[in-house]
């Protein structure tokens, strides 16, 4: 039986919902990495959270990553949350994101992503989250 998003949220009222990436293609690519176990971390501009934005991730909370069309894709449990400056990213966290060859590749990809969002600066704060896959709704 396939669960609806509403049924999942009703069973997990603390859960937030979100989409990876900023396009259908990127969302699908990232979800595939999560499902394969290659992606166990992510980051986002700290400015995307708080007043008028998403709720800050919390250790132990389960959140639902959506497919681009808004249907549930996977449930993730946050295991670590930290902040750092864009310029302070390190190779270990980049490797856990599963999408990038190295730190230089990460910097180019995320600079482009943050510029599309209109928030890029070298000293911008970013939220860094490690997670584990709890359930796959595919």
CATH of the domain at 93: 3.10.400.10
How many domains would you assign to the chain?
Answer: 1
Whole-number pLDDT of residue 90: 96
| DSSP-derived secondary structure for 35-48 | HHT---EEEEEGGG
Q: Which domain holds residue 14?
A: 5-136
Cβ atoms of 101 and 61 closer than 8 Å = no
In 3D, which of 48, 59, 50, 46 has the Cα closest to residue 126?
46
For residue 11, CA distances in Å to 8, 58, 63 come to 5, 18, 12
CA angle 116, 72, 33 (to 5 degrees): 60
Confidence bin at 112 (pLDDT 50/70/90)? very high
Whole-angstrom Cα distance, residue 95 to residue 106? 9
Question: Is pLDDT at 107 greater than 80 in this prediction?
Answer: yes
Task: Provide the CB-side half-sphere exposure for 109 (13 A, CA).
Answer: 18
Tens of pLDDT, residue by residue over 46-90, are: 999 988 778 899 999 999 999 999 999 999 999 999 999 999 999
Whole-number pLDDT of residue 96: 97
Whole-number pLDDT of residue 23: 93
User: pTM for this one?
Assistant: 0.91
Among 17-21, 74-78, 124-128, the range scoring the smallest mean pLDDT is 17-21
Question: Is pLDDT at 1 greater than 70 in this prediction?
Answer: no
């Amino acid at each position: 039986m396939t669960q609806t998003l509403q049924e999942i949220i009703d069973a997990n009222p603390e859960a937030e919902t979100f989409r990876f990436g900023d396009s259908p293609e990127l969302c699908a690519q990232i979800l595939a990495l999560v499902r394969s176990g290659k992606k166990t971390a992510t980051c986002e501009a700290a400015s995307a959270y708080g007043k008028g934005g998403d709720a800050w991730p919390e250790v132990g909370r389960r959140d639902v990553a959506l497919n681009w069309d808004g249907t549930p894709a996977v449930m993730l449990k946050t295991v670590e949350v930290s902040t750092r400056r864009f310029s302070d990213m390190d190779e270990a966290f980049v490797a856990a994101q599963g999408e990038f060859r190295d730190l230089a590749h990460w910097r180019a990809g995320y600079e482009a992503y943050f510029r599309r969002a209109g928030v890029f600066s070298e000293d911008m704060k970013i939220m860094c989250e490690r997670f584990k896959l709890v359930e796959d709704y595919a």
